[in-house]
Amino acid sequence: MKSDSPGEAAAIPTDQARNRPGASARPRIVLLVPPTRVPLMFTPDALDALARLGQVVRADGTTDEIAADLPELLEGADVAITGWGAPPIPAELFGYRLRFVAHAAGSVKRLVPPEVVERGVVVCHAATIIADAVCEYTIALILMGLRRPHEMAAAMAAGADWRSAGYTEPRTLAGRVVGVIGAGYVGRKVINLLRAFEAQVILVDPFAGDDIGVPRLSLEEAFRQAEILTVHAPVTPATERMIRAEHLALLRDGALFINVARSRLVDSDALLAELRQGRLWAALDVFDEEPLSVSDPLRSLPNVLVTPHAAGFTRDTYARQGMTMVEEIGRHLRGEPLRYRVAPDRYTLMA
């Protein structure tokens, strides 16, 4: 149904598509996010701003229901908006009008085929917005590994003696050798924050430019040198399970291993075996199977901090994701330079 309120977009069932091309000179903008997820990414202010840009059609139904009606929804569309819960858009639905996709989340490769990007379809996404939250979370996990406030709090809550509750081997981040694997949106921001802490940063990324300004090492050499290793690479055929038992064995005793990227970058069995030895401390936010089983041994290892894929989640970030893409659509429609476009030559290398 449509609302008469100028600040609301028209919500339509996916078995209908109204306002066909020719009914209005305004750009047709199709929001493909399921209604239950729209409020996560789009505030009322963002939806108001979107409605001022063009004729907005909001899909209704589940992901599968929206997928079934994509041909009808996207007929005559100028802009498609995707996000969490949106279905993949088949290549054949991109035509002379639909040449712009705004993705109000991070990973977009599964939704837009690489071949249409090669043909000139413009894809923008909110990955850099999410990266702010992820890099802050990464630094928080590193600091927790160095100082262990959560362990001391648990000991205090359990009634431990004042002195015995303290962590006996605290370290500062300043001066620590930190290996960063991957210099994408998150990795670069993490490097910048690590510099502010005066850490010694080393990098593993064969595609990174010299502008980053930190030493680039091989994967093996980074594991040898690092006191802290944090993973931020995308999953590609070249990176899947690239961190294996022989790499983990190179880490010095007491090293920290942080993964807030993708679990498929690591041989999970090898990591579990290494962590069971107790010589490393790890913080893991991503897993091969999510949700993580309540019986998974990672939950009970005293030297492992597990969190439920929460690195990118903040209320502030979610709100910024939607508004950022609305603003980007406005720039696109006005012919202004874009700020969040995915570079076509980097599309297949993205997370």
Decide if pLDDT at 227 tops 60: yes
pLDDT of residue 329: 98
- Residue in the block written with tokens 């993964």: 259
pLDDT of residue 21: 41
- What pLDDT digit, counting tens, does each position of 137-178 carry? 999 999 999 999 999 999 999 999 999 999 999 999 999 999
* Percentage of the chain modeled with pLDDT above 70: 93
Decide if pLDDT at 9 tops 60: no
313, amino acid identity: F
- What pLDDT digit, counting tens, does each position of 37-77 carry? 999 999 999 999 999 999 999 999 999 999 999 999 999 99
Confidence of residue 19 (pLDDT cuts 50, 70, 90): very low
Cα 111 to Cα 8, 13, 190, 203, 294, distances in angstroms: 26, 21, 27, 30, 31
Q: Which residue from 319, 325, 349 is spatially nearest to 339, judged by alpha carbons?
A: 325
pLDDT of residue 13: 37
**Ordered structural domains, the chain, with CATH:** 10-127+315-349 (3.40.50.720), 171-306 (3.40.50.720)
DSSP annotation of 53: T
Mean pLDDT of the chain: 92
Within 13 A of 144's CA, how many CA atoms are on the CB side? 20
246, amino acid identity: E
pLDDT of residue 11: 41
Q: Which residue from 212, 263, 272 is spatially nearest to 239, judged by alpha carbons?
A: 263
Q: Is 173 helix (H, G, I), strand (E, B) or coil?
A: coil
pLDDT mean over 245-261: 98
The angle subtended at Cα 305 by Cα 197 and Cα 225, nearest 5°, is 50
SS3 for 99-160 is CEEEECCCCCCCCCCHHHHHCCCEEEECHHHHHHHHHHHHHHHHHHHHHCHHHHHHHHHCCC
The angle subtended at Cα 30 by Cα 27 and Cα 33, nearest 5°, is 155
- What pLDDT digit, counting tens, does each position of 198-225 carry? 999 999 999 998 899 999 999 999 999 9
What does the alpha-carbon distance between residue 250 and residue 201 come to, in Å, rounded to a whole number? 18
Decide if pLDDT at 18 tops 60: no
